[in-house]
Amino acid sequence: MIVSDSTTLIILLDLDRIDLLSNLFPKIIIPKAVYREITFKRPIKQTNFIEVKQPKDSELLDTLNMLLDQGESEAIALALELKLKLIIDEKKGRKIAMNQGIEIIGLLGIIYLNIVKGFLNIPQAEEFLVSTISHGYRINQKLVNDMLWVAKKDI
């Protein structure tokens, strides 16, 4: 299981590639704020591997809410509470999560794992990333190139 913030989920849902998560994790846990963010534009198909759960530590949430948006705050608090890894892509949120001792992964890490586990080949991964960028999502090209280089060595 893993906890998720909204950015990666929104991208994968928009591009109809939620399978890139279900290939790797039996269950994704998201807080209510993330659920609201990912269903803002349209309802999602009720997948049996996404569970909505609310963190309990309101003091931690108050502190995190001073630094981050509500979805990131709740996702970090939930990952801490459940002692799970966290899917998060925003730089500030990643830094705060790592400072709390949370293991993190982002979209590129998910693509990398799909490559090394054989769910995607390199051309499919490159095509997906081009599609992601053409849909208006920003991804650092140097990070993309670095991930693909490492993936090519690891397969």
**pLDDT tens digits, 47-77:** 788 999 999 988 989 999 999 999 999 999 9
Helices and strands of the chain, counted as H and E runs: 9, 5
Whether the Cβ atoms of residue 55 and residue 84 lie closer than 8 Å to each other: no
Asked if 94 and 129 sit in the same domain, the reply is no
Asked if 30 and 67 sit in the same domain, the reply is yes
Asked if 96 and 126 sit in the same domain, the reply is no
Whether the Cβ atoms of residue 100 and residue 94 lie closer than 8 Å to each other: no
Asked if 80 and 127 sit in the same domain, the reply is no
Q: What are phi and psi of 121, to 5 degrees?
A: -100, 175
Asked if 67 and 136 sit in the same domain, the reply is no
**pLDDT tens digits, 12-52:** 999 999 999 999 999 999 999 999 999 987 777 767 889 99
Provide the domain count of the chain: 2
Per-residue pLDDT at 46: 61
Last residue of a domain, one of 85, 105, 125: 105
Asked if 100 and 113 sit in the same domain, the reply is no
Asked if 22 and 82 sit in the same domain, the reply is yes
Asked if 49 and 73 sit in the same domain, the reply is yes
**pLDDT tens digits, 116-132:** 999 999 999 999 999 99
Asked if 94 and 133 sit in the same domain, the reply is no
Asked if 100 and 37 sit in the same domain, the reply is yes
Per-residue pLDDT at 146: 95
Q: Residue 36: which CATH number?
A: 3.40.50.1010
Asked if 86 and 40 sit in the same domain, the reply is yes
Last residue of a domain, one of 86, 105, 124: 105
pLDDT band at 142 (very low <50, low <70, confident <90, very high): very high
pLDDT band at 87 (very low <50, low <70, confident <90, very high): very high
Give the pTM. Answer: 0.93
Whether the Cβ atoms of residue 93 and residue 68 lie closer than 8 Å to each other: yes
Cα distances (Å, whole numbers) of residue 41 to 6, 21, 33, 47: 13, 20, 14, 17
Whether the Cβ atoms of residue 27 and residue 49 lie closer than 8 Å to each other: yes
Q: Residue 70 sits in which domain range?
A: 2-105
**pLDDT tens digits, 93-121:** 999 999 999 999 999 999 999 999 999 99
Asked if 14 and 78 sit in the same domain, the reply is yes
Per-residue pLDDT at 71: 96
